[in-house]
Amino acid sequence: MDYIMIGKFFKGLASAGAWCCFDEFNRINIEVLSVIAQQLLTLFDAKRDGVPELIFEESRISMKPTFCVFITMNPGYAGRTELPDNLKALFRPMAMMVPDYALIGQIMLYSFGFSEAKVLAEKMVTTFQLSSEQLSSQCHYDYGMRAVRSVINAAGMLKREDQELNEDKLLLRALRDVNVPKFLKDDLPLFENIINDLFPGVERPQINYGSLLPQIHKS
């Protein structure tokens, strides 16, 4: 994403008087962010002064007073860029809080037809919490909301396929299907111990993968 593309975006927003929220804005390269800061300063100054039209990026555009831009960012996160000071000055910061993953998971599981959604959501979140504490630190390990959604979506698909299967088994299989493929060999026993403690007495569901496993071993 370069400043030319962002400039075209800003032209449309200003002309329409629309709002826009750029998610994870600081993933853009620092060189592009510096140009974007100047673009936004030009547009915000025109909005403040009540200018009906202006020349922006070699084009004459109208400026609707309802135009506004918002951004979200993860400061200090891997692969993210620190915002330039002149860009920070254009936005009012707002503090955010960590969402209640268990409550979100509970609601999503209920939507998929799980009757024991509250208990299962707590087990799922505890699994991720213990995994983040006990397993090794790897850049491709994810225990956040994306991982929660992946597990719930997998469990929901399994629920549609077999309405009568024990719900603990469904969630256990979803947790294994989503997480085991990405874990390193040394972390697998630790993960197995975690789910065995959280799902005591629940037998691991037998899965028929057809000819997949024999072909993998053969290769």
Residue 101 CA, distance from chain mean position: 12
Low-confidence ranges of the chain (pLDDT < 70): 75-80
Q: Report pLDDT for 155.
A: 94
Q: Report pLDDT for 164.
A: 83
List CB contacts of 56: < 8 A, sequence separation 6 or more. 7, 10, 11, 14, 39, 42, 43, 46
Strand partners of residue 61: 54
In tens, the pLDDT along 111-164 reads 999 999 999 999 999 999 999 999 998 888 888 888 999 999 999 999 998 888
Strand partners of residue 20: 69
